[in-house]
Amino acid sequence: MQSDNTITGDRNLAEQGYWDTSYSNYSFSLTPEEDKVKQWIKKNIPGTQTKSCFEIGCFPARYLSVFGELGYELNGIDVTPRTEKELPEWLKTEHFKVGEITREDIFSYTPGKQFDVVCSFGFIEHFTNWQELIEVHFKLTKPGGIIMIEVPNFRGAVQNLIHKVLDKENLERHYTPSMDPKLWGQLLKSKGCEILYSGYFPEFDYWYDKPPVSSLQKVFASGLKKISPLLRKLPVNKSLYSPYCGVIAKRRQ
């Protein structure tokens, strides 16, 4: 399931209380190797023993921990109550290098330093002012560093239909116009960044938060389950139906 991390802000479509409740009893664990976002990270980010990573919306570190596996010093920010104490404690038990894990609003955060990789996963799409958040990613990144942004692709026609029918409450917490890596790339390119990746991945897949309730939902879910094996044989990396999208950029200056 897609990792959804939110931080407060005037134009945040997701209520922070929802995430606080959802994560109140969360058991920390490393992300399985078969996770498609984890595979995307490892395919595009080299290992290191000297560099730093900063994740915006880092709790519960499903993907920050992947950078730990790659050898990065781990830093991050979130406003979920368990962020500042329990999260870094768990990361240390996994023998990762841990820098500063902060519980604070990203819009008021001043770190005083920059990082080799600045990333977010399932984050910017909760905000109507997503352009400001990309600006934050840029400012936190060292010259020569990497910016990595990923969100679910609820904007694609097939994925949008699935979520409208089966997952409307969750869909309403997302700002679908923000789910466009082409626009992210244009913004970062205007700042002098080199775009290393911009697109959708991988093959068709889907999820929804709650079991179907209405007769329509049950019929739709049943039919979707039956045709999914065929849909997964379609070409990969398509905006129409791929479940994720992302951009990777190198900051030149």
Q: How many domains does the chain have?
A: 1
**What domain range includes position 40?**
16-250
Within 13 Å and on the Cβ side, how many CA atoms surround 186? 6
Which pLDDT score, from 0 to 100, does residue 210 have?
92
Q: What is the phi/psi pair of residue 23, to 5°? A: -95, 0
Specify the CATH number for the domain of residue 215. 3.40.50.150
175 in a structural domain: yes
Which pLDDT score, from 0 to 100, does residue 25 have?
83
The first and second tokens of residue 154, run together, are 């609820």
Is residue 172 within 8 A of residue 86, CB to CB? The reply is no
The first and second tokens of residue 19, run together, are 């995430």
Where does the chain have alpha helices with state H?
16-22, 36-44, 64-69, 86-93, 130-140, 157-166, 168-171, 181-190, 215-231
The first and second tokens of residue 142, run together, are 């060292």
Q: CA torsion, points 188, 191, 194, 200, in degrees to nearest 10?
A: 10
Is residue 178 within 8 A of residue 151, CB to CB? The reply is yes
43 in a structural domain: yes
221 in a structural domain: yes
* DSSP state at residue 124: G
116 in a structural domain: yes
Mean confidence (pLDDT) of the chain: 93
2 in a structural domain: no
Query: Looking at residues 61-75, what average pLDDT do you find?
Result: 98
180 in a structural domain: yes
pLDDT(144) > 50 = yes
Is residue 110 within 8 A of residue 44, CB to CB? The reply is no
10 in a structural domain: no
pLDDT tens-digit readout, 10-52: 467 766 776 677 777 889 999 999 999 999 999 999 999 999 9
Is residue 55 within 8 A of residue 63, CB to CB? The reply is yes
Which pLDDT score, from 0 to 100, does residue 236 have?
96
The first and second tokens of residue 162, run together, are 């699935």
pLDDT(205) > 60 = yes
Q: What is the phi/psi pair of residue 115, to 5°? A: -130, 160
pLDDT(7) > 50 = no
202 in a structural domain: yes
Is residue 206 within 8 A of residue 162, CB to CB? The reply is yes
Give 231's contacts (C-beta < 8 A, 6+ positions apart): 158, 204, 241
Which pLDDT score, from 0 to 100, does residue 18 have?
64
